[in-house]
Structure 1
Amino acid sequence: MTIKDRVMTTTPQSSTKGKIHSIETCGTVDGPGIRYVIFTQGCPLRCLYCHNPDCRHPNDGKEVTVDELIADIQKYRSYMNFSGGGITVTGGEPLMQPKFVGEIFRRCQELGIHTALDTSGYVNLTTAKSLLEYVDLVLLDIKSFDPKIYQQVTSVSLEPTLNFARYLNEISKSVWIRFVLVPHLTDPPHNIRGLAKFVSSLNNVERVEVLPFHKMGEYKWERLGYEYQLKNIPPASPELVATAKNIFQEYGMKAY
């Protein structure tokens, strides 16, 4: 009897369905180790630098069941086990499909697979609470700390994300903070320092990832007929990234 057969005889099957954009079977940048990364469909933010603008609309994408995903995930368990990896659900915004994503996480934890949620934190806390029970690690993307810059970058309010971060701290959920460094947009020192001060007040943050802005998704914007407003913005230089990391380190954070 195979591992899959044993699991299917002991774990109730789930017909829960959701919409995904795509899957990356051996990801190495969305959490520890080698990871099975699920990109969900739908996002309430409109980030100017988004590299997956084709994830915006919740009715697009491919419909799949949790059972289908679990069956595929198990093919890669040896890679996950060897590397200390697991699965990561990202997007889009995974918390737009809480029942679907929560069931994926629940089933994976039953199988002993590490689970990570990559989210903007722009969510209804009531909706997110039950799902977080099955999450081992949250990758929380805080796009800016200055509310005006955050609104400019995302077209939504910052406060729900800060409330989400505070709740994760209350329940002692492990968190990696992610901050995209965009020249002439998110790089003002007061913005970085404000975020560093806020993050340093939380007791559950294991690390901060400073992600240099890039234009890898620009072609998607053009293909979809969207206006890419950052066309003339250069990638973040190593010197700018180092400066940002130093600010986080001044506040006692491990910055990568």
Structure 2
Amino acid sequence: MKSNINNTSRILHLNQLDKTKKLPPDEYQAKMKILKNRIRELTFLSKAKERPVLFVFEGWDAAGKGGAIRRLTQEIDPRLFEVHNISAPNSEEIQHHYLWRFWNRIPQKGHIGIFDRSYYGRVLVERVEGFASESEWSRAYEEISLFEEQLVSFGTIVIKFWLHIDSDEQLLRFETRKNDPLKRWKLTDEDWRNRDKWSLYEEAANQMFQKTDAPKAPWFLVPANDKYFARTMILETAAERLQEELR
């Protein structure tokens, strides 16, 4: 199976991504069957070797993070993983350092933690929306890098994804959600407001990639206009990273 990933030439700027990449449905089904089996085997191996695994998912609203996470975890032993859907801090969490609530959710040895949004909110939504001062979000790059260094030193395998769609594709998905009674709950007023700050979020994301990408905690930018391509790229990347670390 031909790889979508070349770790030596990873793209770390959103404007350089080719968002036209697509995968036919039949090829998608064939690849996913193979990839899910690989993920299952590798996560059992990480359990045997007592290596924690942390997946970080970031990206635009409606980019497909939830769907990608569901495909990633479908063949993993449910006793081994936990998905954390991160929203605004609650009344207790806001009284602590912003990393406190993430320290409390990092996976134990042999287990898998998945953040659907993460501590990177400090340099994304908190930066753009003014919830953190410039001095706070500016120093967060080093704080986050040190946080991940400690995880890696403990043996944690850290894999970070950004799912990237263009503004037109996001609008189409918003309209689809608005018109679907079963998906309407996913769409909020905040989602619409964030579209008006697209360029600010894009600038913040690009700076985040440059400042927090690391050999042992790499960013993988995923073209996600086509959900089939995005999902296979994510599972393929996850399998390659796990195999590399567990070799």
Normalised by the length of structure 2, the TM-score is 0.31
Q: Which has the higher contact order (CA 8 A, sep 6+)?
A: 2
Flag the structure with higher helix content: 2
Flag the structure with higher strand content: 1
Normalised by the length of structure 1, the TM-score is 0.30
